[in-house]
A = this chain, B = another copy of it.
Amino acid sequence: MKKNGDTLKVHVTKEYFSYGAAPNEQRLESRLKLGPVTVAYETLGALNSNRDNAILICHALTGDSHVAGNYPEDSLEAPPGWWDFMVGSGKGIDTDRYFVICCNILGSCMGSTGPASINPATNKPYGLDFPMVTIGDMVNSQKQLLDYLGVRKLHSVVGGSVGGMQVLEWCVRFPSMVRSAIPIATTMRHSALAIAFNEVARQAIMADPNWNKGAYYDGSKPDTGLAVARMIGHVTYLSDEAMRRKFGRNLQNKNDFSFNFTGDFQVESYLHHQGSKFVKRFDANSVLYITKAADYFDLTDKKITEKSLHGLSGTNSKFLVISYSSDWLYPTYQAKELVQALKRTSQDVSFCEIEADCGHDAFLIQDKRLSALIGGFLHGLTGS
């Protein structure tokens, strides 16, 4: 990691690790097989000689390995990684002390193996031949990466939303490797409401004729359906309060209503913008696979996840559970259910509900309270 004297930008590089070279070598929770698997990852800071100062950051639905800093080839205007306010020298997750790892999840399209990757059996993109992957499968691929990097113990595993599910799955799958865990704005079981929103988003994608049962990689992409799916998502990431504050009933054209269907209100333009921005960077099939993995997630049920919360008994990870007061996708009552379930297995759990009107996406918005909370928790572990 170097600092550029002119811009003080932190430079990071996206790297790739592959395993399971033989086709279909890795068995998944679905009993289907996949291979070879590539994991795109980025690191900041340095691993100490004890190999125990690593922090794994797990990204959410459409995130990627680019958690902080800039690529050397970035233009001066290029934004840094998605959690740059949290991760860096002297920040909440302090790269002067910790070796930070963030990798793209299995099933995504940002460098790790997913439905847009080439299927070695056909030399074409997988499409729907990609096997269903679970949060557990994502965590297993992260474990392979940590083994490769020589990390023996995680000082912490941190993540929000679908990233928080990975955090919890880490704790039940590899409890002895996890010194602490920070699940943020997440749940231990995906609710009917959350499943419903995901299913409507999937239906919007699959309704697009360009989707073509997932086989669209050599033609037009299902951009229209994907944009609708993203708009649905964005409504759930915000809150009633935030939308009132940000948009209210403000019009694009202050003078009058259009009396047509092009969109009058600023909130409509915002959603259109989010939809068209998203289709440029993300693969529709990856949305299908990752939302399905989230829907299947239920740590209170061993239907597919071989390990459940009961597996935590006898371990001594420390937990910091964080929720947001206006998150209605994974509301605070679900965080409290998680806290109670953890306490029943005698875990050391701290819980904080942050008052914020920004809804589910609040953890992605710069907030000194969140940085201080996480920094203090991590520092406390080091001192103990």
Q: Does the CB pair B232–A264 fall under 8 Å?
A: no
Chain A window 230-269, contacts with chain B (Cβ cutoff 8 Å), 1 for yes, 0 for no = 0110010010100110111100000011011101110110
Q: Does the CB pair A200–B244 fall under 8 Å?
A: no
A225 contacts which chain B residues (CB < 8 A)? 207
Q: In the complex this chain forms, how many copies of it are found?
A: 2
A196 within 8 A of B: yes
Q: Contacts A191-B243, A195-B268 hold; do A204 and B206 have CB atoms under 8 A apart? A: no
A296 contacts which chain B residues (CB < 8 A)? 257, 264
A203 contacts which chain B residues (CB < 8 A)? 227-228, 231, 271-272, 275
- With both beta carbons as reference points, the residue of chain B lying nearest to A202 in the complex is identified as B261
- With both beta carbons as reference points, the residue of chain B lying nearest to A224 in the complex is identified as B207
Q: Does the CB pair B200–A228 fall under 8 Å?
A: yes
Q: How far is the CA of A200 from the CA of B199 in the complex (A)?
A: 14
* A44 → B minimal CB distance (Å): 36
Q: How far is the CA of A244 from the CA of B235 in the complex (A)?
A: 20
Chain A window 117-160, contacts with chain B (Cβ cutoff 8 Å), 1 for yes, 0 for no = 00000000000100110000000000000000000000000000
A200 contacts which chain B residues (CB < 8 A)? 228, 231-232, 235, 271
A303 within 8 A of B: yes
A304 contacts which chain B residues (CB < 8 A)? 257
A32 CB contact (under 8 Å) in B199, B259, B301: B259
A295 within 8 A of B: yes
Q: Contacts A131-B259, A249-B298, A303-B256 hold; do A244 and B191 have CB atoms under 8 A apart? A: yes
Q: Show 18 A/B contacts (Cβ-Cβ < 8 Å), sorted by A.
A: A30-B259, A132-B257, A132-B259, A191-B243, A191-B249, A192-B265, A193-B240, A193-B243, A195-B249, A195-B265, A196-B231, A196-B238, A199-B263, A199-B265, A204-B207, A207-B207, A207-B227, A257-B304
